[in-house]
Amino acid sequence: MDYKSARQLVIKECDTALSKVDEGEIEQLIEMLFAADKVFFIGVGRVKLELEAFAKRLAHLGIKTHIVGDINEPAMTDRDILIVGSGSGESLVPVAIARKAKLIGGKIVHIGSNPQSSLAPITDLMVRIPVQTKLYLADEIVSNQPMSSLFEQALLLLGDAVAAMIVAQKNIELKKLWAYHANLE
């Protein structure tokens, strides 16, 4: 496969995946983000990297975000939400952290593909990106990319789409966002 074919494959698959996300779920997510005191994120591997990018972008928009496990992570309260990124919804650490967050009284948002996962009973909102996971569920979008690449790519783009919606809803002047950008670089 040449670069042009690979590029077209990735872009087409991402477009297909994101077109299957329920807009109502995205609107509920944004409402939850606005209502929360703090927003925590948990994921593992490449999913964690995509969630870190999402958290950083939301921080640029004035939302207090934290990555679970970071040295400066504050205590969670019942006024906060935890966003769990897991395609299968079965990743051990995120599921355990979500259960602990639920005991604290936090709201749980699962961004994933498997609506019947171990997270389902404690999830307040699931944003479903119905792409192929390691479970190979019948209704998942098949990908020709390695492993869970499509989920990870769609997760990153979903975060940027949510950020763009927030900018529009709050009528934020883009030029002013640089005041929130890191300046010790």
| Residues with catalytic function | 152
DSSP label at residue 21: S
Give the separation between CA 161 and CA 15, rounded to whole angstroms.
12
In the block, which residue shows the tokens 């940027």? 160
Give the separation between CA 150 and CA 131, rounded to whole angstroms.
7
Residues whose CB falls within 8 Å of the CB of residue 20, separated by 6 or more in sequence, listed in order: 128, 129, 130, 141
Q: Exposed (0-12), middle (13-18) or buried (19+): which is 61, by Cβ within 10 Å?
A: middle
